[in-house]
Amino acid sequence: MLQMQNWPAEKIDLNKDMNQFVWNRQYPEAERIDGMILWNGVPGSTLAPPGKYFAKFTYEKDSVEMPFTILADPNYKITQQDYEDQFVFLTRVKDKFNEVQKAIKDIRNLRTQINDFVARQGKTVPKEIKEKADSINKHMTNIEETLYQTKAKSGQDVLNYPIRLNDKIGGVYDAAASGNMAPSKQARDVFAELSAQVDTELTKLKQIVNEEVPAFNKMINEKSLPVIGVNRNKNLIFFDGQASVVMHDRYETYSENFIMNALLLTIINGADGNAHS
């Protein structure tokens, strides 16, 4: 039997007399990134297949469950198994697309932290720190450019430059979602190949997060490089064990732990699903 994903609970605003709630059967679309331009677009909502379901209504401490059935459209002569195979495949494709999107966000988050730190050191940044930062950035850029066509700045650019892995996965989703049907062998084979390529890049990113970033943090701590200093138009003051940078009458507060550790390059829910510092 197909194990369906739990649908997030929704609050229903009740009115006097009769109330009605309509479920559109749509699971959430894939993850978007602001400014990202894709030829195939982001995988859309996946439609719950025909089958038996139940709804749970909760009010304060009371709850009640109600079974219901989604019937297949009789105009389509396909089996229940075909519906379920399509749903499972589309969900897998969308999940893999989301893995790519999250990896891109993690790369950009790390790059921003590294570049901001190096910039704060100015011309006094040690050579080995700068070289390590450049090395990590270069490796992450290679991964990002494999996952996404970073040259795409307008709709026309996806015609001028070849699409990358996330866009190709979006194309597989579109093809498999183009009708009520089980995924074709070609769609399965292409997705398997693209998934393997994505996994290779995610493994590289995991190695950077688990090994190169900690080594970079260790190097920074060993050299006792400052995170906060007195720059032009800034004054460093302390209140109750916290350091604050005063800039144009605006306070930016950093905890004592942040200062002592010099730099915490952190990915929340990193490429391997865990938090890293």
Dihedral sign for Cα 102, 106, 111, 116, please: positive
Q: Is the pTM of this model over 0.85?
A: no
Q: Is residue 215, in this structure, part of any structural domain at all?
A: yes
pLDDT at 245 over 90: no
Alpha-carbon separation of residue 247 from 233, 238, 239, 243 (angstroms): 6, 14, 16, 13
Mean pLDDT of the chain: 83
Q: Is residue 182, in this structure, part of any structural domain at all?
A: yes
Q: Is residue 87, in this structure, part of any structural domain at all?
A: yes
Q: Residue 99 has what pLDDT?
A: 98
Q: Is residue 1, in this structure, part of any structural domain at all?
A: no
Alpha-carbon separation of residue 171 from 40, 44, 100, 222 (angstroms): 5, 11, 14, 48
Q: Residue 227 has what pLDDT?
A: 61
Q: Residue 275 has what pLDDT?
A: 44
CB count within 10 Å of CB 86 equals 22
Q: Residue 228 has what pLDDT?
A: 55
pLDDT at 49 over 50: yes
Q: Is residue 176, in this structure, part of any structural domain at all?
A: yes
Least confident piece of the model among 35-49, 171-185, 230-244: 230-244
Q: Is residue 50, in this structure, part of any structural domain at all?
A: yes
Q: How many domains does the chain have?
A: 1
| Domain region containing 208 | 26-225
> Do the beta carbons of residue 191 and residue 93 sit within 8 Å?
yes
Q: Is residue 84, in this structure, part of any structural domain at all?
A: yes
How much is the average pLDDT of 20-28? 86
Alpha-helical (H) ranges within the chain are: 80-121, 127-147, 157-160, 165-176, 185-207, 213-222, 256-260
Q: Is residue 266, in this structure, part of any structural domain at all?
A: no
